[in-house]
Structure 1
């Protein structure tokens, strides 16, 4: 009997589960969609659609790669982030849901239709910059990166999202060559893994993300030491910065930015209740708290 969308999905899911792959159901569905051209809706509404031999061969190949711990984003060459889809290559960090905590801060700090200029330092695929521009039509931005290959990916993503008229890119180290007081928002997801910890990361990260985007030096904090004075220099008075951090780096990174003269610096948690962002902007969780009864 020929496989169907449903049986192919279940079979791929079982293989991934036996291989101790996280999220086997989601990964199997994404790989099935790519192999067959089906959508999630197709799988639900037309589950008995036949899968051709060529499609099954493609799916089997994808599953074999996933069992070797190659991330789905690397297999497919694309990854969803916030509300956009991005092309990803071995030259850029694969965007992660953790980084969306930056967007929670940014979008609260800059309401809809507000015009502002931002810079994304170490832009990689352009994820932070492009997700922000997609949400804020009055915004314009610059993404910097030391990797020309990464910038090529970011430019392609901007064009694919029709954001290239508002997004520009520059090859430079962090903010080198950027004029003082140029931006209302400075955002960054710098490398923050201590050098000696990289070999112990999951294979999906260790073997497939560029080391340049992971290695934060001996203690994981070198990028923040470099960034804090530069952020202070290029940020306009009253501007907002937001940087992603490792779960155990909140106090140390907060202190580095306070040492540069920033006030009201706070550590913001992600949806998993882990420290994830250091910023002088609003804390989404505090902002979302209901007003106490009788409060004015």
Structure 2
């Protein structure tokens, strides 16, 4: 089988399996197992594939046919221009989440935030991207999943971020978090439990369930994070969330009730609500407590 024949075979298999971007996925899997660039492919497309390479490609196509995500087969996903390693223990970084990182980067520059806490860090893509974007920042990522934290540590090493700049802690949200931060960011589980069964197979069957399930109304983790986050700001700090397209008003209300100000919503490229942010001021909280007394 030549490289050209293999690619055409892969496209046909994935198209028949109903994979939406079958032609792109077939190419990316061929590139992954062979190491061929686009340019080299057109030079060598009529060459015979080595048997081991052909077998790897056939196995990769079979996995993709069965709806294993492309990124779980290749083990990598690009995010914010950086390459991250991923596996079945972490949520695959998505383009939607880049909106959160871009907004957090802007807010950190505007406020001078240097210490960042990433709650529900998963692969570490949010925190590590923010640290790569500004070498003066340090941060902590928390996650309940030990396998996810191992992947985050692997990504820290992959991106060559020193250990003293990025720490990862196994913690149920803030349970084992120490110290204070200038900014807290989170892409928590926010899908309503009943909605998970309606997701595409790649997500429903292969992303970690715990990274998806936001409980009955999808707001469980927002409630917990918002109610506890204020205790981890030294004076004034910024809290930023990724949200589902229909959750902006609920999350804004929760933040308002908890004493946040300057609350705003940022839309994604599709025009859907994607990020909610706000500012917490401990001095203001103390004033309100004294007034109530």
Which of the five TM-score ranges fits, normalised by the shorter chain? 0.7 to 0.9
Partner of 1:178: 177
Please say if residues 115 and 138 of structure 1, whose CA atoms lie closer than 8 Å, have aligned partners that are also in contact.
no
Query: Can you give the 5+ residue segments of structure 2 that lack an aligned partner in the other structure?
Result: 280-293
- State the number of aligned residues: 277
Please say if residues 155 and 164 of structure 1, whose CA atoms lie closer than 8 Å, have aligned partners that are also in contact.
no
1:70 partnered with 2:68? yes
Which runs of structure 2 are paired with 1:107-146 in the superposition (5 Å)?
107-111=105-109, 116-146=114-144
Partner of 1:211: 209
TM-score (norm 2): 0.88
Partner of 1:86: 84
Partner of 1:147: 145
Compared with structure 1, are the counterparts of its residues 267 and 44 closer, same or farther at alpha carbon in structure 2 (3 Å cutoff)? Answer: farther
1:19 partnered with 2:17? yes
Please say if residues 29 and 40 of structure 1, whose CA atoms lie closer than 8 Å, have aligned partners that are also in contact.
no
Partner of 1:271: 269
Compared with structure 1, are the counterparts of its residues 59 and 175 closer, same or farther at alpha carbon in structure 2 (3 Å cutoff)? Answer: same
Three-state SS of the structure 1 residue aligned to 2:235 is strand
> What CA distance in whole angstroms lies between the structure 2 residues aligned with 1:228 and 1:191?
14
Partner of 2:278: 280
Compared with structure 1, are the counterparts of its residues 44 and 232 closer, same or farther at alpha carbon in structure 2 (3 Å cutoff)? Answer: farther
Residues 149-172 of structure 1 show CA distances to partners (whole Å, capped at 9, x for unaligned) of 111111111012111331111111
Please say if residues 108 and 183 of structure 2, whose CA atoms lie closer than 8 Å, have aligned partners that are also in contact.
no
> What CA distance in whole angstroms lies between the structure 1 residues aligned with 2:270 and 2:5?
34
Residues 172-204 of structure 1 show CA distances to partners (whole Å, capped at 9, x for unaligned) of 111124346x11111111001111111221110
Please say if residues 113 and 183 of structure 2, whose CA atoms lie closer than 8 Å, have aligned partners that are also in contact.
no
Three-state SS of the structure 2 residue aligned to 1:223 is helix
> What CA distance in whole angstroms lies between the structure 1 residues aligned with 2:224 and 2:109?
29
Please say if residues 2 and 45 of structure 2, whose CA atoms lie closer than 8 Å, have aligned partners that are also in contact.
no
Please say if residues 134 and 163 of structure 1, whose CA atoms lie closer than 8 Å, have aligned partners that are also in contact.
yes
Residues 73-122 of structure 1 show CA distances to partners (whole Å, capped at 9, x for unaligned) of 1112222211211221222111111111111201212339x660101001
TM-score (norm 1): 0.87
> What CA distance in whole angstroms lies between the structure 2 residues aligned with 1:108 and 1:69?
37
1:57 partnered with 2:55? yes
Alignment root-mean-square deviation, CA: 2.0
1:226 corresponds, among 219, 224, 227, to 224
Using the TM superposition, name which of 15-24 and 41-50 deviates more.
41-50
Structure 1 runs of 4+ aligned residues shifted over 6 Å read none
Partner of 1:167: 166
Query: Can you give the 5+ residue segments of structure 1 that lack an aligned partner in the other structure?
Result: 282-296
Partner of 2:291: none
